[in-house]
Structure 1
């Protein structure tokens, strides 16, 4: 394995983050802080508990997931789209690096940025809301697994997109609504039928539920099911990327 090639791509993407620090890190943390102020402090103090957890603390896993999913997709999609846009993708493809090493470099950098962002948001949340983490190891596992999975998904979007507008279609029109409807601000057990059953077809439900279980030991879906669904999505993304490099879809033409 060409470690130097992976490192070169990884360092290049991380350096780009440092050049756009306000957009990549500061802006998502500040925007999420507004949710903590409004829902956690202002509204949460006037609401009861959900599954024995204060409302302000209850929404923390959902808000972290909201930022994590959007930023993982954004970082990975732009990282691979820009070389396509500028034409430097052919230099990457002709370099002595395999498709696996290319994916490790781009996706590894995007996932790293997302994990750092998630940790910063959790630190920021402590300023506004008191919360606990019952299973810190599982919390980090879900954080890392989700970051990798949606960075892979973002990599696919970056390959698929042929203009800058398409980079925003999936995150804004699909992922964000699914996150809001996936239990970020409520427990799906609060919904009447048939909406409660229909919500289970939302894949983001399993991510938020598993992540919330790591914090408070409560979940809308069994933790094993949440982990299994996340792994299914991860493997699906890996299979799609394998097919992209196997066929050269939108990267060699």
Structure 2
């Protein structure tokens, strides 16, 4: 394993992040505050509790997951797309670096930034509501796996995209709606029985449910199913990336 190459890619991507560190920190803090004002105050005044948990506290895991997923995708997709756009991707491909080291460098940097923002949102939430974490180890595990898996997804999108518009297509039209419809700001048990069954086909439900369980000890689906879902998604993304580098799809042409 060429750790020097991995570190070089990782440091280069993180340097791009730290050049906009003020924006990276300020943006999630403001967004989190607005969510608590809108959802916590407006909706929370009508929904006092959800299964014994105050509504303001209940939305914290969903809010973290929403931001972490979108950030991991956007950072990873731009990180690999830009070298394609300016042509420096061929320098990386011709260097004595295999695809595993390339993926670790880019995905590791994207996952790190997403994880940082997730921690910032969690810290910001404590100023508005009481946040308890019943299973901290599982919370960290779910958060890290989500950052990695969606950074891998972003890496795939960055290779697939032919222009800057396509970079935003999947996060805006697919991921964000799935998160909002996946029980991020409500429990799916609040839905009619038919829609509860339909919602179970949304993969994001399993991620948010498992993450919320690590906070409050309550889940809409079995915790084992949540962990299996994120592990399966991570494995699928790795398989797709392996196929991309094996065939050179949208990299060598």
TM over 0.5: yes
Q: CA deviation at 1:188?
A: 0.3
- Tell me, yes or no, if the aligned pair for 1:45 and 1:56 is still in contact at 8 Å: no
**Distance in structure 2 (CA, Å) of the matches to 1:61 and 1:148:** 17
Asked whether 1:230 is paired with 2:230, we answer yes
- What does residue 69 of structure 1 align with? 69
**Distance in structure 2 (CA, Å) of the matches to 1:72 and 1:82:** 16
Number of residue pairs the alignment of both structures matches = 253
- What does residue 7 of structure 1 align with? 7
- Tell me, yes or no, if the aligned pair for 1:77 and 1:159 is still in contact at 8 Å: yes
1:91-106 counterparts in 2 under 5 A? 91-106=91-106
Q: CA deviation at 1:42?
A: 4.5
**More moved, 186-195 vs 15-24:** 15-24
**Structure 1 segments unaligned to the other structure (5+ residues):** none
Q: CA deviation at 1:21?
A: 2.3
- Tell me, yes or no, if the aligned pair for 1:41 and 1:128 is still in contact at 8 Å: no
SS at 1:82 equivalent: helix
**Distance in structure 2 (CA, Å) of the matches to 1:140 and 1:114:** 13
- What does residue 198 of structure 2 align with? 198
Q: CA deviation at 1:30?
A: 1.6
Q: CA deviation at 1:131?
A: 1.5
**More moved, 25-34 vs 139-148:** 25-34
- Tell me, yes or no, if the aligned pair for 1:13 and 1:106 is still in contact at 8 Å: yes
**Distance in structure 1 (CA, Å) of the matches to 2:79 and 2:30:** 23
**More moved, 32-41 vs 224-233:** 32-41
Q: CA deviation at 1:48?
A: 2.0
**Distance in structure 2 (CA, Å) of the matches to 1:109 and 1:43:** 36
- What does residue 130 of structure 1 align with? 130
- Tell me, yes or no, if the aligned pair for 2:28 and 2:120 is still in contact at 8 Å: no
- What does residue 59 of structure 2 align with? 59
- Tell me, yes or no, if the aligned pair for 1:50 and 1:187 is still in contact at 8 Å: yes
Q: CA deviation at 1:47?
A: 2.5
- What does residue 216 of structure 2 align with? 216
Q: Which runs of 4+ in 1 moved over 4 A?
A: none
**Distance in structure 1 (CA, Å) of the matches to 2:45 and 2:105:** 44
- Tell me, yes or no, if the aligned pair for 1:13 and 1:79 is still in contact at 8 Å: yes
- Tell me, yes or no, if the aligned pair for 2:134 and 2:217 is still in contact at 8 Å: yes
**Distance in structure 1 (CA, Å) of the matches to 2:25 and 2:205:** 25
